[in-house]
Chains A and B, each alone.
Chain A
Amino acid sequence: MTIKALSRRTLLRGAGIGIALPVLEAMFDRRGGLIGPANAGVGDPSRLVLFHWPQGLPVGWGAADGGFWYPQTYGANWTVTPGLQPLADRGLIPDVNVINGLTYRQISEHVGSHGHSVAYMTGHRALPEAPGSSEPTSQGPSVEQFAGARIGGATKFASISTGLYEQGEGWWSWSSPGVRSPLEVDPKLLWARLFADLDLDPEAALAAAARTKSVLDFVADDIGRLQGQLGAADRMRLEEHLTTIRALEQQVDFVPSADCALPPEPGAVAYTDADCDAYAKLMIDLVVMALRCDLTRVALVSLGPSQNYRTFPHLDIPYTYHNVCHSGGGGGGPDIDETGEDRDTIYRKIATWHMEIMAYFLDALRGNDEIGNLLASSAFIGSSEFSSGNGHLEEFVPVVVAGQVGGMETGRVLAFPCTFDEDWQTPPWCAQPGAKSDVCINDLWTTALRAVGGLADDEVFGDPTLDTSSIDGLWGT
Chain B
Amino acid sequence: MRRWALTAVAMAACYRGGSSDESAAAHDDTGGSAGTGADTGEAQGDGAEACTADQLGPAYLRRLTAHEYRGSVETLLGPGLPDVVGAFPDDPVVGGFDNNAEALVIDDRLVERWRDAAETLGAATIGDPDRRALVVGCEPIGDDRAACLEDFARRFGRLAWRHTLDDDELAGLLAVADAAADDDDPWQAIALVIEAALQSPSFVFRVERGDVDPDDPTRVRLRGTEVATRLSMLLLGSTPSAALLDRAEVGELDDADGVEAAARELLADPRARAAMREFYAQWLQLPVLEHVVRDAAEHPQWSETLPATMTEATLALIDAFAWDEAADVRDVLTAPFGFADAELAGLYGVAAPADGLAQIDYGPDDRRGGLLTEASILTLTGKSASGLPIFRGKFLREALLCESLPPPPATVPAIPPAVEGESDRERLERHRTDPACSGCHALLDPAGFGLAEYDAIGAHRTVDSTGAPIDARGSLSGFDGFEFDGPFELAALLHDDPAVSQCLVRQLFRYGAGRRDTEADACTLDGLHQAFDDGGFSMPALIVAFVRSDAFRERPRTEDGP
Query: Could you tell me which A residues sit within 8 Å of B by CB distance?
Result: 110, 112-114, 116, 129-135, 157-158, 166-167, 175, 178-182, 184, 186, 189, 192-193, 210-212, 214-215, 218-219, 221-223, 225-226, 229-234, 237-238, 240-241, 244-245, 247-248, 309, 311, 318, 320, 326-335, 337-338, 391-392
A240-B106, A328-B384, A391-B410 known; 13 other A-B pairs, CB under 8 Å?
A157-B108, A180-B105, A211-B179, A211-B192, A212-B115, A230-B207, A231-B562, A234-B561, A244-B107, A329-B384, A331-B383, A333-B295, A337-B414
Residue in chain B with minimal CB distance to A242: B201
Partner of B106, one of A186, A237, A337: A237
A-B residue pairs, 5 tightest by C-beta:
A231-B561, A327-B414, A330-B384, A214-B179, A332-B293
**Shortest CB distance B352–A (Å):** 26
Most buried by B among A231, A248, A331, A332: A332
In chain B, what residue has the closest Cβ to A181? B107
> From A61, which residue of chain B is reached at the shortest CB distance?
B411
Known pairs A112-B407, A222-B172, A327-B414; A332 contacts B107 (CB<8 A):
no
Please state if B195 and A330 are interface contacts (CB–CB under 8 Å): no
In the docked arrangement, what's the CA distance between A211 and B118, Å?
A: 13
Interface contact B292-A332, CB-CB below 8 Å? yes
CB-CB under 8 A from A218, the residues of chain B are: 172-173, 175-176, 196, 200
Interchain CB contact under 8 A, A248 and B406: no
Q: Are B295 and A334 in contact (CB under 8 A)?
A: yes
- Tell me whether A330 and B407 are in contact in the complex, defined as CB-CB below 8 angstroms, given that A215-B192, A219-B199, A240-B106 are known contacts: no
Interface assignment of B560: CB less than 8 Å from any CB of chain A: yes
Q: Is the CB of A215 within 8 A of B196?
A: yes
Contact B558 A231 (CB under 8 A): yes
Q: Which of these binds chain A: B86-94, B266-274, B325-333?
A: B86-94
Known contacts A132-B8, A226-B201, A230-B562: does B408 contact A335 (CB below 8 Å)? no
Q: Is the CB of B200 within 8 A of A219?
A: yes
Q: Is the CB of A328 within 8 A of B106?
A: no
Tell me how far the C-beta of A181 lies from the nearest C-beta in chain B, rounded to whole angstroms: 5
| Interface presence of B143 (CB below 8 A) | no
Contact partner of A225 among B168, B192, B404, CB < 8 A? B168
When C-beta atoms are compared, the residue in chain B nearest to A311 turns out to be: B293
B interface residues with partner A (beta carbon < 8 Å)? 2, 4-5, 7-8, 11, 60-61, 63, 87, 89-90, 92, 94, 103, 105-112, 115-116, 118, 168, 172-173, 175-176, 179-180, 192, 195-196, 199-202, 204-205, 207, 209, 291-295, 297-298, 382-387, 404, 406-412, 414-415, 417, 456, 465, 516, 558, 560-562
A175 to B92 alpha-carbon distance, docked (Å): 15
Given contacts A135-B94, A309-B291, A333-B295, contact A241 B408 (CB under 8 A): no
B331 → chain A closest CB, angstroms: 32
Contact A222 B200, beta carbon cutoff 8 Å: yes
- A221: B residues at CB distance < 8 A: 172
Question: How far, in whole Å, are A314 and B1 apart by their CA atoms in the complex?
Answer: 55
Q: How far is the CA of A233 from the CA of B112 in the complex (A)?
A: 24
Q: How far is the CA of A226 from the CA of B209 in the complex (A)?
A: 10
A-B CB pair tally, cutoff 8 Å: 188
A230 to B414, CA, bound (A): 52
* Shortest distance between the CB of A410 and any CB in chain B (Å): 34
B192 touches A226 (CB 8 A): no
Question: Which of A229, A326, A330, A332 has a CB less than 8 Å from the CB of B209?
Answer: A229
* Closest chain A CB from B181 CB (angstroms): 11
Please state if A113 and B407 are interface contacts (CB–CB under 8 Å). yes
Return A145 CB to nearest CB of chain B, in Å: 9
- Candidates B89, B168, B173; contact of A182 at CB < 8 Å: B89
10 contacts between A and B (CB under 8 A): A158-B108, A181-B107, A215-B115, A219-B201, A226-B207, A237-B60, A240-B107, A245-B111, A247-B108, A327-B415
Interface centre among A113, A211, A222, A338 (most CB of B within 10 A): A222
Of A182, A222, A320, which is within 8 A of B293 by CB?
A320
Q: How far is the CA of A193 from the CA of B109 in the complex (A)?
A: 9
What's the Cα separation between A335 and B299 when bound, in Å? Answer: 13
- List A contacts of B8 (CB < 8 A): 132
Asked if B409 and A113 sit within 8 Å, CB to CB, the answer is yes
The distance from the CB of A291 to the nearest CB of chain B, in whole angstroms, is: 18
Alpha-carbon distance between A186 and B89 when the two chains are bound, in angstroms: 10
Alpha-carbon gap, A215 to B90, bound state (A): 25
Specify the chain B residue showing the minimal Cβ separation from A232.
B560
Chain B contacts of A214 at CB under 8 A?
Answer: 176, 179, 192
**Is there contact, CB below 8 Å, between A241 and B209?**
no
Given contacts A110-B410, A134-B407, A335-B386, contact A193 B112 (CB under 8 A): yes
Residues of A within 8 A of B168 (CB): 225
Which B residues touch A338, using CB under 8 A?
A: 385-386, 465
* Alpha-carbon separation in the docked complex, A116 to B407 (Å): 13
Which of B90, B175, B294, B407 counts the most A-chain CB atoms under 10 A from its CB? B407
Give min CB distance, A244 to chain B, whole Å. Answer: 4
State how many angstroms separate the Cβ of A390 from the closest Cβ of chain B: 9
Contact partner of A132 among B11, B205, B407, B456, CB < 8 A?
B11
Instruction: Determine if B411 and A237 form an interchain contact, defined as CB atoms under 8 angstroms apart.
Output: no
- In the complex, the answer to whether B107 meets A233 with C-beta atoms within 8 Å is no
A129 CA to B516 CA, complexed, in Å: 12
The answer to whether B558 touches A233 (Cβ under 8 A) is yes
Within the complex, the shortest CB–CB distance from A240 to chain B, in Å, comes to 5
Q: Which of B60, B175, B200, B382 contacts A233 (CB 8 A)?
A: B60
CA distance A298 to B499 in the complex (A): 51
Asked, given contacts A130-B4, A222-B202, whether A241 binds B106 with beta carbons under 8 Å apart, the answer is yes
The complex places the Cα of A179 from the Cα of B63 at a distance, in Å, of 14
Chain B residue contacts of A193, Cβ below 8 A? 109, 112
Contact B111 A244 (CB under 8 A): yes
User: Would A182 and B192 be within 8 Å (CB), given that A112-B407, A135-B94, A237-B205 are in contact?
Assistant: no
A contact residues around B297 at 8 Å (CB): 334
Q: Which of B61, B202, B411 contacts A234 (CB 8 A)?
A: B61
Residues of chain B within 8 A (CB-CB) of A327 are 414-415
**Residues B61 and A233 in contact, CB atoms below 8 Å apart:** yes
Contacts of B112 in A (CB 8 A): 193, 248
Alpha-carbon distance A238/B62, docked complex (angstroms): 11
Distance A175 CA – B110 CA, assembled complex (angstroms): 12
Residues of B within 8 A of A114 (CB): 410
B200 partner residues in chain A, CB cutoff 8 A = 218-219, 222
CA distance A309 to B383 in the complex (A): 11
**Which residue on A lies nearest to B90, using beta carbons?**
A182
Please, which residue of chain B has its CB at the minimum distance from the CB of A231? B561
Give the residues in chain B near A181, CB-CB below 8 Å. Answer: 107-109
> What CA separation (Å) do A200 and B203 show in the bound complex?
30
Which residues does chain A contribute within 8 Å of B90, judged by CB atoms? 166-167, 182
A137 to B332, CA, bound (A): 37
Residues of A within 8 A of B105 (CB): 175, 178-180, 237, 240
CB distance from A91 to the nearest CB of B (A): 36
Report chain B residues within 8 Å CB of A237.
Answer: 60-61, 63, 105-106, 205
The answer to whether A215 and B407 have CB atoms under 8 Å apart is no
